[in-house]
Amino acid sequence: MIDNIQRIREEARIRISSIEDLEELDRLRVHYLGKKGLITTILHQLKNLEDEKRRELGATINKAKDELESEISLRKNELRKLQIERELEKSQPIDVTLPGSVPLEAGSLHPITRVTHQMVNCLKRIGFSVVSGPEVELEYYNFEALNTPEHHPARDLQDTFYINKPVLLRSHTSPVQIRTMKSKQPPLQVLAVGKVYRSDYDVTHTPMFHQMEGLMVDHDISLADLKGLLGYFIKNIFGARPLRFRPSYFPFVEPGAEVDMQCVLCKGNGRECRMCSSTGWLEICGCGMVHPNVFKAVNYDPDRYTGLAFGMGIERIAMLKYGIEDLRSFFENDYRMLEQF
């Protein structure tokens, strides 16, 4: 019987290797391994043998069966491969340069939103949180509490939009800081971001624009901290560039300063530069130490606390970052501009 098996096995092996057709291979499989196949039949015959003999023969036959199965399967894959290769030889490659088609064209955020996220995230990392407040404000929050008395130039009707005195459209985001300070004692580290309004409309002014202002109040906050903070911020937004802090005046801070960054266009040489009016420097940010009168207005003790504050126009930052030259284009919403962000 073993000889018989060996013979069948040998014969099958030779036949498998010579088969060139998948259907023929399947017929062969049925011939040997099908329900009535040669191997299956032999396995059935084992029933009549005594135990020991059956076990011995059974092992041999099963081994032969397994081997045969795997040989058939291998040959099957070989034949398939050959078949596919023949088919591929007949076909042509596609034009891979045809444009792709997306299921959905992604939209975009407005450049102002985009740059705002960058600015805000940079400062959130060092502990600031964002607060918001109304755009329609009271004179008190917009001016008086900010050490800007009645006859200060900033209060002229020409600059501020009024709804009806004393209700106005906030001319800066600083009233948010007043409201925030009134709601919580120091320490405080907040950003106010949003739309602000000024009655100015020409090539370099739009009646609405966006501002981000930061405020940090604690014991012993100093000008040195302000310099460190803004150095970090500007480096994050624009990369390492020379900066200068120069004295300036805003009624709600003292000492007050303005931060200039070396011009991104002329790299500071200032020759015939339209971006920096040939000064070599770009004004980026107004800042300073919170004026004691502001603290008094919000019931902070100016003897215990000091604070730093800074503010900047977001459009200006976006213009410098993205190379946008016309301020007004931010609010035209030209699709061909929006698509670039």
Partner 1 sequence: MLLSLNWLKDYFAKSDVRLDPKELAEQLTMRGLAVSSIKRPAIGLEHVVAGRIEKIEKHPNADRLSVTWVVVSEGENAPRLQIVCGAKNISEGDIVPVAVEGAVLPGNLEIKNTTLRGVDSHGMLCSGKELNLSQDSQGILQLPKHSQIGRPLAQLLGSDDTVLEFELTPNRPDCLSVLGLAREIAPLIRTKLREAKPARFRISPHRTSAIVKVEVDDPGLCPRYVARVIDGLKVAESPEWIKQRLQSVGIRSVNNIVDITNFVMYEYGQPLHAFDLRKIESGTIRVSACKAPMDFTLLSGERLELKEGDILIQDGEKPIALAGIMGGLNSQIAEDTTSIVLESAAFLPEQIRKTTKRLGLHTESSKRFERGVDLVGVAAASERAASLLRDSFGGNVYHPPIDTNETTIRELTIAADMRDVRKLTGLYDLTSEQAAEVLEEIGISSHKKSTNILSVRIPSFRLDLRETVDIVEEIARIIGYDAIPQHFAISPATYDRFDEGQIDFENRARQSLANLGLREAIHYSFTSEANLKNFGNGGNTLVRLLNPISEEMKVLRNTLLPSLVQTYLYNKNRKVKNQKLFEVARVYLSDAQEETGVKETTFVSGLISGSTHPRSWNTQQNNVNFYTAKGILESLVRQLTTVFLAFEPQKNHQLFHPNRSAVIKLGLREIGILGEIHPYIRSTLLETDEAVVLFELNLDALKKFERTTVRFKTPSRFPTSEFDIALLVDKHITCNALVDTIRRVGGNLLAGLEMFDVYEGEKIPQDKKGLAFHLSLGTTERTLLDEEAHQLREKITQSLAEKHGAQLRT
Residue numbers 202-241 binding partner 1 by CB under 8 A: 206-208, 216-218, 220-225, 227-229, 231-232
Contacts of partner 1 in 91-120 (CB under 8 A): 98-110, 112-113, 117
Q: Given the complex with partner 1, which of 5 and 190 has the nearer CB atom?
A: 190
Q: Cα(324)–Cα(61) distance, rounded to whole angstroms? A: 82
Min separation Cβ 91 and partner 1, Å: 19
Q: Which residue(s) pair with 117 in the sheet?
A: none
Q: Is 176 in the site for partner 1 (CB under 8 A)?
A: no
Q: Cα(74)–Cα(193) distance, rounded to whole angstroms? A: 69
Contacts of partner 1 in 178-207 (CB under 8 A): 180, 186-190, 193, 195, 197, 199, 201, 206-207
Q: Cα(173)–Cα(177) distance, rounded to whole angstroms? A: 7
Q: Is 318 in the site for partner 1 (CB under 8 A)?
A: no
Q: Given the complex with partner 1, which of 8 and 237 has the nearer CB atom?
A: 237
Min separation Cβ 268 and partner 1, Å: 12
Nearest Cα to 259, choosing from 216, 222, 223, 218? 223
Q: Given the complex with partner 1, which of 73 and 129 has the nearer CB atom?
A: 129
Min separation Cβ 32 and partner 1, Å: 37
Min separation Cβ 90 and partner 1, Å: 24
Nearest Cα to 289, choosing from 229, 235, 232, 216? 216
Q: Is 137 in the site for partner 1 (CB under 8 A)?
A: yes
Q: What is the DSSP string of 177-211?
A: HHHHHHH-PSPEEEEEEEEEE-S--BTTB-SEEEE
Q: Is 321 in the site for partner 1 (CB under 8 A)?
A: no
Q: Given the complex with partner 1, which of 59 and 126 has the nearer CB atom?
A: 126
Q: Is 326 in the site for partner 1 (CB under 8 A)?
A: no
Tally of CB atoms within 10 A around 191: 23
Min separation Cβ 100 and partner 1, Å: 8
Q: 20-29 long-range CB contacts below 8 Å, 24 or more apart?
A: 20/79, 21/79, 22/76, 22/79, 22/80, 22/83, 25/72, 25/75, 25/76, 25/79, 28/72, 29/72
Phi, psi of 25 (to 5 degrees): -65, -40
**Tokens describing residue 220:** 């012993």
Tell me which of 10, 126, 301, 323 binds partner 1, using CB under 8 A.
126
Q: Given the complex with partner 1, which of 49 and 154 has the nearer CB atom?
A: 154
3-state secondary structure of 326: coil
Q: Given the complex with partner 1, which of 16 and 169 has the nearer CB atom?
A: 169
Q: H or E stretch including 152?
A: none
Contacts of partner 1 in 274-303 (CB under 8 A): 277, 289, 291-292
Q: How many residues bind partner 1, per CB under 8 A?
A: 93
**Tokens describing residue 143:** 């001016």
Q: Is 172 in the site for partner 1 (CB under 8 A)?
A: no
Tell me which of 7, 80, 235, 246 binds partner 1, using CB under 8 A.
246
Contacts of partner 1 in 33-72 (CB under 8 A): none
**Tokens describing residue 111:** 């450049």
